[in-house]
Structure 1
Amino acid sequence: MLRLSLQSGLLRALTRRADSRAFPLVVAGAALAAELSMSVPFASLLMAAVLLAPRRWVSIATLASLGAAVGALVLYLVFHHLGWNRLFAAYPDVVRSTAWRDATHWLEHYGVVSLSVIAALPVPLTPALMFAAISRLPVAEVIAALWLGKLAKYHVYAWLASRFPDRLVRHGRRHVDTLRAVLGNGTKADGGTTPTRGGRR
């Protein structure tokens, strides 16, 4: 329930600020919040953001990857501070998961480079962050690996979203207009206004 509430809140924030010049920064903030939540998948929010402003997909993907990398770095530092015993007690399901075993295997054999690969793939990042934190990998290398991985992944997602067929884009924008009307924003995606009750604009 909390995950859905946070995801809906982030989507509302993106929708309300889609016409702002600072929209890529708003997307970066949403990426940071989604990463810190450890539960909200950011890929769908990123694609929604690109559909709201398709011509800005490069800046959206670049700043979103930076926001997500900063969020991941914060988690890395938190996990590092917790240490192995408290980490295991706080997240027993994670450290027993297949994703944990895969992440530990990759990090043990390939080091910090594997963190960049994991960040670039559509797989859970949290187990890799946990293992990297207790392995005490250098912070500078960790943030560089996270950012490069996220940068590659988000550019692919954003490019695909920006290249959606026009018919799908128009369909998506109709949903955006409906969402904005429900939220009471009153501004359509094309820059016009949505009539309110009583016929006023």
Structure 2
Amino acid sequence: MNTHLVPDWLRGLLIRSVAHRYYSLVVAVIAFVTTITFSFPFVAVLIPAVLLSPRRWRSLGLLCGVASGCGAAALVEIFQFLGGELVLARYPELQTMEGWQLASEWLQRWGLLAILIIAGSPMPQTPALLFCALANVSSLGILVAVAVGKTAKYLFMGWATARFPARFVGYN
């Protein structure tokens, strides 16, 4: 089983930057980029980042949560700029995803609280963000909801990785 979701160049960047005092900011930029591009789950980067520098789990969790919130708000703005039709034409599978159905139900029922819950859970947040863009939900609200949800999730993952590293060594 291949647990290495992180590309080699990204793993090399983490290893080269771990000794620098801006390491947490480098990882936060990666969180922003992975959120805005939805290229792969950021937790696949967070776990090795914490394993490389366990004492920084708090700063990594906080900065990466805020960076993910900023990335989500930027992604909603991009979706709104491009228009829902263009996005759905480019990614038609989004409408048939189970995550899309669940996210739309939750958003209609609970609003931004649903985004906070989705951001803090293992569910994919991109369908929910696209739905928010189509519904013209406030980007500031998205930023806050995703930042709070992701910060809680990343702080927990960072704490667990720093506290019980042997459980996560396979991700490094």
Q: TM-score, normalised by structure 1?
A: 0.78
Offset at residue 5 of structure 1 (A): 9.2
Which segment is superposed worse, 61-70 or 21-30?
Answer: 61-70
- Give structure 1 stretches of 5+ with no counterpart: 177-201
Offset at residue 73 of structure 1 (A): 1.4
Per-residue CA distance 1:56-78 (angstroms, 9 max, x = gap): 11001111111222111111111
Offset at residue 147 of structure 1 (A): 0.3
Is the contact made by 2:115 and 2:145 (CA closer than 8 Å) also made in structure 1?
A: yes
Q: Check 1:161–1:144 CA distance in 2 against 1; reply closer, same or farther (3 A cut).
A: same
Percent of aligned pairs sharing the same letter: 34
d(CA) in 2 for partners of 1:106 and 1:116? Answer: 11
Is the contact made by 1:69 and 1:143 (CA closer than 8 Å) also made in structure 2?
A: yes
Offset at residue 159 of structure 1 (A): 0.5
Counterpart of 1:185? none
Is the contact made by 1:35 and 1:42 (CA closer than 8 Å) also made in structure 2?
A: yes
d(CA) in 2 for partners of 1:153 and 1:110? Answer: 20
Counterpart of 1:191? none
Segments of 4+ moved more than 4 angstroms: none
d(CA) in 2 for partners of 1:72 and 1:11? Answer: 23
Is the contact made by 1:7 and 1:40 (CA closer than 8 Å) also made in structure 2?
A: no
Letter in 2 for 1:150: K
Offset at residue 84 of structure 1 (A): 2.4
Q: TM-score, normalised by structure 2?
A: 0.90
Query: Which of the two has higher C-alpha Rg?
Result: 1
Is the contact made by 1:57 and 1:159 (CA closer than 8 Å) also made in structure 2?
A: yes
- Give structure 2 stretches of 5+ with no counterpart: none
Name the count of aligned residue pairs: 168
